[in-house]
Every structure is written in C-alpha cells, then in structure tokens.
Structure 1
C-alpha cells in the first residue's frame, strides 16, 4: 500500500448532509451537491469534491450516522440556503490514491488503518474523507485522506 503523508490546507466547504446508514444512499446526496454546484458554476475540472463520513458506524448507530457531500469553495463565496458551510481543519494526513471504483475504495478503507498503525501513526480526531478532483467524467481515481499523528514513543 503506497501511502503518502501530506500537510493539507484548511478547506472551506459547501455541503449537503444525509443522516442514516452509510451505503448506496450516499450517492444521492453527492448527486444533490453536484447538481447544486453545477447550477452555481462551481462544478468544473478544477473542483475538489469531498465525501465525508462523519461517524464511525462501529460506535454510532447506523440510523444516526452523518454523511456529508462537499465541495471546496473560496473564502469569498457566499453560500445560499440550499447547502450548509463548514471548515475542515488542515494538518497532517495520510493520503492513499485508489482507482475510483466501489471495490477499490472499499478495499482501501478496509486496510488503511492497519497499514497506518504498522507505520507508527495514530488516527487524529479530525474528519477523514475521500477527495475527488474535477468533473465526474474526468475522475478515474480518488484520494482517501486520513488525519494522522506519529505515535508518542
């Protein structure tokens, strides 16, 4: 597994939230965000799209899990009432690039935590997310981004 450690900037995002079990319904939430972003002229080849599971389904009941579909926006952009806004704090993240297929992404999520622990990292409390660039037709990979810190010796 080829994991890079990078320092990510803060991201200001506009997002749409779904509450409930993670899975196929997340796609509808992402489509709603993309539809809004296209209407606003924000969804293009330079866009950064984030898929953010806010809760651990091993700890939080599936009915209460929050999923956010977000797009990075400038500090000047004025958000309307169709979406919410938030800021994701930057910092040290483990980045694992995978093919943009459901199978490859799921496999990566299943092994990334074990690999990070083997390399001496612990998971930080900031949100983890999948990061996509550009319009849908141009996206053939995704970055799984996990906030990390080095274990204290």
Structure 2
C-alpha cells in the first residue's frame, strides 16, 4: 500500500463519543456530529476525524470507544453541548483509501504488517481516519497511523 509521511499539527477538536462494538452505529455518531457542525456553520471547510480509541483485539467489544471529531480553530467559542479536547500532532503515515467497510478492513489488515518493514514503530497515539475537503462528500478517507522511527 502506498503512503505519505506527514507531520500533523496539534488539533483542537470537539467530539461525540460512542461506547460499544465498532460497526455501523459509528456512522450514526458521525452524522450526529455533522448535524451539530452544520448548525454552527463549521462543516464547509472542516477536517473530520473518526478515532477508534481501542484495539478490538485487546478490548471487549462493549468497552470499545469511538470518537467522531471535528477540528476547530483556537479562537472558536464552544459551549457545554459538546466535548472538547486536543490531539497532539507528530509524524504519521497517511494512507488514502476508499471509505467502504471492506476497503477499511483490508487496509488495516495490510498496514500493520508493513509498518515495521519500512523501519517505523507505531507511536502510542490513536490512529485517525481523516476526512478533508472533497473526502467529506466522496467515499474516500485517509488512515493516519502515528509512528516513530
């Protein structure tokens, strides 16, 4: 699989969290976030992130956390209607893939075995699915894997 190496900045984010098995319900969480962002006029030039916080191979399905996030500017004023946090930036391997359940599953299966062969180790940060620009309306996303040399 082809990838680019990029340094991502720190992101100030707001998010909606779901706890439970990863699957189609995650789409509902993202739609809820998009609806909130539309009401605040934040969706037009947005960076959306989907963050599976837990490894389903080591975490019970009912305890897996999924965050649907939108990057906001430092000067944005938020209220208590949504959770806020910050993601620390750093070096990431960026894989652009079709955003279908089949393609995402295939990508995750191929990404991890190949990382070490390129001389990288996964950093202790969450893996991000990133949607920017046209990706929000088209079936593509970037899987961003945090790495350290």
TM-score calculated relative to the size of structure 1: 0.92
Q: Hey, what's the Cα distance between the residues in 2 that align with 1:128 and 1:136?
A: 18
Structure 1 stretches of 4+ with a deviation exceeding 4 A read: none
Shift of 1:134: 3.2
CA contact (8 A) 1:132 1:139 kept: no
Aligned to 1:113, the other structure's residue is in SS state: helix
Aligned pairs for 1:22-41 (under 5 A) are 22-41=22-41
1:102 Cα shift? 2.2
Asked if structure 1 preserves the Cα contact closer than 8 Å seen for 2:135 and 2:141, the reply is no
CA contact 1:133–1:139 (8 Å) conserved in 2: no
SS at match of 1:79: coil
- Would you say the 8 A contact 2:52–2:127 is kept in 1? yes
- Tell me the secondary structure at the aligned position of residue 92 of structure 1: strand
Structure 1 position 140, deviation (Å) = 3.5
Alignment of 1:1-153 (within 5 A): 1-44=1-44, 46-134=45-133, 138-150=137-149
Check whether the contact 1:57–1:65 (CA below 8 A) recurs between aligned residues: yes
Provide the C-alpha distance between the structure 1 equivalents of 2:136 and 2:122, rounded to a whole number of angstroms. Answer: 32
Q: What RMSD, in angstroms, separates the aligned Cα atoms of the two structures?
A: 1.4
Q: Measure, in 2, the Cα distance between the counterparts of 1:130 and 1:8.
A: 13
SS in 1 for 2:35: helix
CA contact under 8 A between 1:10 and 1:87: conserved in structure 2? Answer: yes
For the residues of structure 1 that align with 2:12 and 2:109, how far apart are their CA atoms?
28
- How far apart, in 1, do the equivalents of 2:61 and 2:82 lie? 23
Q: Report if aligned partners of 1:13, 1:70 keep a CA contact under 8 Å in 2.
A: yes
Gaps of 5+ in 1: none
| Unaligned runs of at least 5 residues, structure 2 | none
Q: Residue 57 of structure 1 aligns to a residue in which SS?
A: coil
Change (3 A) 1:128 1:138: same
